[in-house]
Amino acid sequence: MDKVMSNKKMIALYVLPALLLIMAIVYIPIVLTAYYGLNQWNGIGKMKFIGLDNYSALLTDGTFWKSAWHSLLLAVFSCLSLLIYLAIAMVLSARIKGANLFRKIYLIPMLLSSVAIAQLWLRIYHPSNGIVNSVLESLGFANPPAWLSEPKLVLFALFVPILWQYAGFYILIYYAALKNIPSSLEEAAKIDGANSWQIAWRIKLPLAMEVIKVTIVLAAVGSLKYFDLIYVMTDGGPNGSSEVMASYMYHTAFRAYDFGYGSAIGFFLLVICLVVTWIIRKLTATKDTIQYS
Amino acid sequence: MTSEALLPPARQMSPKSKAGKKIGYGVLYIVLTVVAALQLLPLVWLFFFSLKNNQEVFNLPPLSLPTHFRWENYEKVWSAGNISVYFLNSVWITIAASALTIMLGSLATFAMTRMKWKGSSLVLGLFMVAMMIPVHSTLIPLFSMFNKAGLTDNPLSLILSYVAFNMPITIMIMLGFYYALPREVEEAGVMDGCSVNRLFFRIVLPMTSSVIATTGIINMIYNWNEFIFVNTFISSDSYKTLTVGVQNFIGQYTTDWGSIGATLMISILPILVMFLFLSDRIVEGIAAGSVKG
């Protein structure tokens, strides 16, 4: 048995195709990104090694820090919205008839392509014919704003469909975690006289904590690297007021053909994502994890 | 003794608190329904305006049915532009990439979970860490690598990228399933003199059909909706997929709401149909592929 199952040739044959592929497509590009960042390069011509110039320029690049601030704002809003999703999941897990149907309906936007969602929300926000302004006008608000061309509003207007798209995803995860808690615990608490609030706060919440921590990381990192809807809906505009880190990288590389500087931004993005993951893990680390039984 | 008898007197329900509980549940249902409406209404609105002409979109109330269902909007966009070409590209690229991911993922997962070798946990770690790497940090090197290899504007660049970036989540969902297979499966197989290949292809792989279905669906959804790789690597219309195709097509038709709506509906319809029939598997796959981090 062991001889067959530890045949080195077969193991290599089974693992290597997948392993080599992620090495070539995921890991090597990461190393290359860091290296390209040390060069001046337009993507076609010769690279010119310039040391840390791109990285030091990045540190004083106002546009970059503005886009980083926008990404950070999105991360904060995404993490705060997790509270709402958790509350909804709590309600769903409390003997609601049709809970299964509800969570499926909530999930639908997440399954659709970002382009379709972006194009749909472009119409939703359309200044004269969009559903948002039609509703506002019928409620008596004269001259509702053109949401996506107001520099002060555009970022928050973009956050709405982004949060809308992923709401069902987090509700689904929380629901699964809450359903995973043995019902015997809830029964026992009820017998001891606990009410629904106490059961939610003292029993369900602590037991779902591990999953909540994972979702905080997912929401924060997902927001920091966010790109799709913003790229399609406003392309970072008007005048950079909705630029985020990933869109700034894309514009620098594929519009301004500054591949060296774009790579530096790309590498910085990776570092920020890893550092934020590490910080959140540290902040939410607990000494003892709670066991079900 | 029944649990009823164990309840302290204060927990016994008075008629008043029963009524209170009913009202409480009523409020919860209203909240859940409002959330469901928020998730669905934009899509309903999209469906409605895909069947209208501009006059109807602008003059009728937003959520009203069209006076006459203009299915010709769908016929028009399907034959005009390249929507049918984009659609077929999406279909074959999605299927090819998903099938390849599942094949390579199954092989690697089998070797990592069922075969004995040093370094299997290290390799597994490499697959899992790859999940944390932002796609945008790899985009510039991938573009230049594919460019050098003559693979830009070639569907192969898409398939390779899709397979590599979906490999981690595919393996993650498969892991639990492979770990849970009983040892006796291989023992019996090896006793009978099976080779590793025979054991894997004839015995283990058929046993994993349900996890293959789950990962297959998740892969197909992700690949169908992928945008940034197509947008960056592919330039000729004959290779574009629906996401980028829709984006370009709508750019030319920004004033005809019916055509825009019909195009968007065509692009999301396959996913909606899949969801209608396979929602349980989709929910299961998304939940399984997210929490274990």
In the prediction, which pLDDT does B82 show? 83
pTM of the entire predicted model: 0.89
Our count of domains for chain A comes to 1
CB contact under 8 A, B62 and A24: no
CB contact under 8 A, A121 and B42: yes
CA distance linking residue B263 with residue B247, whole number of Å: 10
Residue range of the domain that includes A78? 62-284
CB contact under 8 A, B136 and A269: yes
In a domain, A292, yes or no: no
In the prediction, which pLDDT does B209 show? 92
Rounded to a whole number, what is the distance in Å from the CA of B62 to chain A's nearest CA?
Answer: 6
In a domain, A43, yes or no: no
CATH class for domain B80-288?
mainly alpha
CB contact under 8 A, A32 and B141: yes
DSSP state string for B119-186 = THHHHHHHHHHGGGS-THHHHHHHHHHHHHTT-TTSHHHHHHHHHHHHHHHHHHHHHHHHHHS-THHH
Rounded to a whole number, what is the distance in Å from the CA of A186 to chain B's nearest CA?
Answer: 13
pLDDT above 70 (res B7): no
In the prediction, which pLDDT does B15 show? 63
Q: pLDDT, tens digit, for every residue of A217-245?
A: 999 999 999 999 999 999 988 989 999 99
In the prediction, which pLDDT does B6 show? 44
In percent, the amount of chain A with pLDDT more than 70 equals 97
What are the extents of the domains in chain B?
15-72, 80-288
Closest partner residue to B264 (CB to CB) among A116, A211, A262 is A116
CB contact under 8 A, B291 and A211: yes
CA distance linking residue B247 with residue B85, whole number of Å: 14
**B172 shares contact with chain A (CB less than 8 Å):** no
In a domain, A71, yes or no: yes
Contact status, residue A199 vs residue A186, Cβ threshold 8 Å = yes
In a domain, A142, yes or no: yes
DSSP assigned state of A24: I
CATH number, domain with residue A122? 1.10.3720.10
Q: Which of residues 178-237 of B touch A (CB under 8 A)?
A: 186-187, 190-191, 194-197, 199-200, 221, 224-225, 227-228, 232
Among all residues of chain B, which has the CA nearest to that of A137? B61
Can you list the residues of chain A whose pLDDT is less than 70? 1-2, 287-293
CA distance linking residue B251 with residue B238, whole number of Å: 18
- The two tokens of residue A95 are 């003997």
Q: Report which of residues A288 and B192 the model is more confident about.
A: B192
Q: How many CB atoms lie within 10 A of CB A31?
A: 11
Q: How many CB atoms lie within 10 A of CB A270?
A: 20
In a domain, A54, yes or no: no
In the prediction, which pLDDT does B78 show? 87
In the prediction, which pLDDT does B8 show? 47
Q: How many CB atoms lie within 10 A of CB A49?
A: 11
In the prediction, which pLDDT does B212 show? 94
In a domain, A211, yes or no: yes
**B168 shares contact with chain A (CB less than 8 Å):** yes
In a domain, A48, yes or no: no
Among all residues of chain B, which has the CA nearest to that of A194? B11
In the prediction, which pLDDT does B293 show? 37
ipTM: 0.89
In a domain, A89, yes or no: yes
pLDDT above 80 (res B3): no
